[in-house]
Amino acid sequence: MNIKIFSIPLFLTIFSIVVIYLSLQLETSPEMIVGDSMQARSFPIFLMVINLILTAILAFQFTRVYPKEVELEKFPTWSSMLLFLIFYILVSVSGDMFVAIPVVMFLLGITWGQKKIWISLSNAIITPLFIFFLFDYVLQVRFPRGWLTNIYYG
Amino acid sequence: MIEALSALGSVFVDPYLLGLIFATTILGVIIGVLPGLGATTGAALLLPFTLTMEPVQAIAVLSTIYVSATFAGSITAILINTPGTSAAAATTFDGYPLAQKGEAGRALGVAVVSSTIGGVFSVIVLCIAAPLLARVAYEFRPPEYFALTIFGLSMLASISAGGAVKNLIGGVFGVWLSTIGAERVTAIERFMFGNYDLYEGLSFVPVFIGLFAISELLVQSKMVNKVVNAVSLKAVKLPTKDDYKRIWKTIVRSSGIGTFIGILPAEGATVASMIGYSEAKRWSKNKEEFGKGSIEGIAGAEAANNSATGGAMVPTMVLGIPGSGTTAIILVGLMVHGLRPGAYLFTEQVEKVYQIFGSMLLANFMFMAMGLYAAKLFARVSLIPISILWPIVFALSVIGAYALSQSLVDVWIALIFGVIGFFARRHGFAVAPIAVGLILGEMVETNLQHSLKMFDGQWWMIFAQPLALFFLILAFLGLCGPYLFSLITRQKN
């Protein structure tokens, strides 16, 4: 039997045990507050016990019907996730979502196979601009101040 | 009753609402024809745009997206063999073969008419059934609500994507997510790890944007090199008299099936269309045509999936239990705009409720007009390269996640849940159960706490309440029924 098939049940089991452990670390409330109800830790523990039971059933099902082999992700998927990280770093450094969004949009377009750079570039510039003014004027959403928004907000 | 009818009718004479629904229907159809986007992702992306609207307008926008995108999935299902939404998957079985025979216009005509009839039928049922159910729900106390939410969660087992056990695990995970933040009675901080942005719990909007929109972006990244084979379309044709003779019974049957399935908590348009299709085949005199371009097959699937939209709004609005990912977002929309779903909505906000129903009715007629006269144009939209479309979705997602609370933490939450949702889907777990679990989580815990207080900590007293027991038995049968049935059949054989 291929042990790999148990990777998901194993992950779920570890997750449930960790949550139970963390729940047990939660404070308990005095009887006069909780009364006949339950402690804050009880419900998550109850949920994770159910999760463990369901995970056991899932593991049993996997022994009877093998789960489909999951293909490894290709470049566009991993690069997209990496771009999320780049987005986080850019926002943290510049403090400005409107610096990070065009950069990520442009790179996303390129990594997803857009060969004409000007198309990706125009998309990365026009769309955030349009969304920014839509949210600013119509929905009156104020965005975090950063390199670019500081120029606009003054 | 007169008040309700006049509220329903007022939608048709309110120029602003008419214009809004018209514009949203166009947007909904565009969203529906874009493979991967669909009603749920579309509603998640549009939710932040509704924040400054009046409650009725906001929910009208979301429900119009739901109705029109569900229909529009059939356009690409017929023309390029790619269902725009999962609910249109059954339409490909006969829609594309008929289109390949050079009858794409006829296939679309049948889909448009069936969808409209199904949609209108379900809104009528919604108008009648919702207030009746609300009257029953008026009597519900915490034990009944607790049992009802358990029933709702148990129904997750039969959501279309994923397996029963995987969906239940997703549901439990969603309920657990609802425990993050300060506990409501004792204010004890749970799973916050010192982050006080999570004190009030996870906001639904960024989580939903992550689960539905960003995870879909990652899923679509696998389809970068997919080649689309489109068939030509001259014009959409209304069904002929002979066509109507063949399909009217199927439309009526599927409308009933779809509405009923929609009403069941956690069942949605996808399940409805599959059952509508298989029932159309079962009752047809021309079974051999199915799979080769049968108009009955198209009518069966389309009437069922669109009628499920109205049906799914019944538990959403009356009980606060969403029937699908999209209704979960509509439910969040209701909450964000101060419309607490439940029986009281039907006594205190009747006018608003019927205006929402009226806008759904109107949306059905509008997408019919668009389906008949602009399907060719909309079909072209589906050919937008994904390298242009999905960066736009990314921008809308992060800004949408930020907009509600104007907090960057919500943006990170959306991205994290996008990745979680992607890996869940990668391993066969649907994300809708997580969303439904997150919404129902608070209801489950709060009603359990109240029930325990009511019965002095004697939890077994919940089973002594007839209505609560009824829902719990239904939940048990829903979970174990199929296994017990197969066990009994096996033993008999």
pLDDT in tens, A130-153: 988 888 887 778 888 888 888 888
Positions of E strands within B42-185: 181-182
Quick check: B28 pLDDT over 70? yes
Mutate to test the interface with A, among B154, B180, B387 (most CBs of A within 10 A): B387
Q: What is the pLDDT of residue A1?
A: 62
Structure tokens at B216: 């879909």
Mean pLDDT score across all residues of chain B: 85
Q: What is the pLDDT of residue A3?
A: 73
Domain that holds residue B164: 2-492
Q: What is the pLDDT of residue B191?
A: 92
Residue A27: how many CB atoms within 10 A of its CB? 12
Q: What is the pLDDT of residue B231?
A: 62
**Helices B2-13 and B15-33, axial angle in degrees (round to 10):** 70
Q: With bands split at pLDDT 50, 70 and 90, how would you rate the model's confidence at B418?
A: very high
B488-492 average pLDDT score? 77
Domain co-membership, A96 together with A146: yes
B326-333 average pLDDT score? 88
Facing residue for A70 by CB, picked from B49, B188, B427: B427
Domain co-membership, A56 together with A86: no
The per-residue b/e assignment along B435-461, b for 16 or more CB within 10 angstroms, e otherwise, is bbbbbbbbbbbbbbbbbbbbbeeeeee
Q: Phi and psi of A65, rounded to 5°?
A: -120, 110
What is the secondary structure of A72-85 as a DSSP string?
A: PP-HHHHHHHHHHH
What is the rounded distance in angstroms from the CA atom of residue B288 to the CA atom of residue B295?
12
Closest CA to B451 of B143, B141, B144, B186: B143
Domain co-membership, A40 together with A83: no
Structure tokens at B39: 């009603």
Domain co-membership, A60 together with A85: no
B196-205 average pLDDT score? 89
**Chain A CB within 8 Å of residue B103 CB:** no
What is the rounded distance in angstroms from the CA atom of residue B57 to the CA atom of residue B49?
11
What is the rounded distance in angstroms from the CA atom of residue A121 to the CA atom of residue A103?
9
Q: What is the pLDDT of residue B136?
A: 81
Quick check: B234 pLDDT over 70? no
Torsional sign, CA B177, B183, B189, B190? negative
Q: A38, A64, A90 — which closes off a domain?
A: A64
Please give the angle made by the CA atoms of B270, B274 and B277, to the nearest 5 degrees: 135
- Residue with the two structure tokens 């969004």: A101
B110-118 average pLDDT score? 92
What is the rounded distance in angstroms from the CA atom of residue B165 to the CA atom of residue B175?
15
Kindly state whether residue A85 falls inside one of the protein's structural domains.
yes
Quick check: A14 pLDDT over 70? yes
**Chain A CB within 8 Å of residue B340 CB:** no
Q: What is the pLDDT of residue B260?
A: 87
Is A29 in Cβ contact with B186 (below 8 Å)?
yes
Q: With bands split at pLDDT 50, 70 and 90, how would you rate the model's confidence at B406?
A: confident
Q: Cα B68 from chain centroid?
A: 12
Residues contacting A15, CB < 8 A, separation 6+? A51
- Percentage of chain A with pLDDT > 90? 51
Q: What is the pLDDT of residue B171?
A: 92
Q: With bands split at pLDDT 50, 70 and 90, how would you rate the model's confidence at B158?
A: low
Quick check: B481 pLDDT over 80? no
Element (H, E) at B182: strand B181-182
User: Letter for the amino acid at B344?
Assistant: Y
Query: Is-contact B413 B202, C-beta < 8 A?
Result: yes
Q: Phi and psi of B194, rounded to 5°?
A: 80, 5
Render pLDDT for B346-398 as a digit per residue (tens, 0 to 9): 877 888 888 888 998 999 899 888 888 877 777 777 677 888 888 998 998 89
Kindly state whether residue A16 falls inside one of the protein's structural domains.
yes
Q: Phi and psi of B182, rounded to 5°?
A: -75, 130
Quick check: B466 pLDDT over 80? yes
Report how many domains make up chain B.
1
Domain co-membership, A40 together with A80: no
Query: Is-contact B316 B443, C-beta < 8 A?
Result: no
Facing residue for B176 by CB, picked from A38, A44, A119: A44
What is the rounded distance in angstroms from the CA atom of residue B92 to the CA atom of residue B88?
7
Facing residue for A12 by CB, picked from B169, B221, B390: B169
Is A40 in Cβ contact with B190 (below 8 Å)?
yes
Q: What are the angstrom distances between the C-alpha of A62 and each of B108, B295, B424, B425, B475?
A: 42, 40, 17, 17, 25
Domain co-membership, A139 together with A86: yes
Q: With bands split at pLDDT 50, 70 and 90, how would you rate the model's confidence at A19?
A: very high
Render pLDDT for B259-307 as a digit per residue (tens, 0 to 9): 988 887 666 777 788 888 888 888 888 888 888 888 999 999 999 988 9
Render pLDDT for B118-156 as a digit per residue (tens, 0 to 9): 999 999 988 888 888 888 887 888 999 899 889 888 877
Domain that holds residue A30: 3-64
Q: With bands split at pLDDT 50, 70 and 90, how would you rate the model's confidence at B424?
A: very high
Q: What is the pLDDT of residue B105?
A: 85
Q: What is the pLDDT of residue B175?
A: 95
ipTM for this prediction: 0.93
Render pLDDT for A90-111 as a digit per residue (tens, 0 to 9): 999 888 889 999 999 999 999 9
Domain co-membership, A57 together with A97: no
Report how many domains make up chain A.
2
Q: What is the pLDDT of residue B220?
A: 86
Q: Phi and psi of B190, rounded to 5°?
A: -115, 130
Is A120 in Cβ contact with B391 (below 8 Å)?
yes
Residue B53: how many CB atoms within 10 A of its CB? 16
Domain co-membership, A22 together with A49: yes
Domain co-membership, A49 together with A84: no
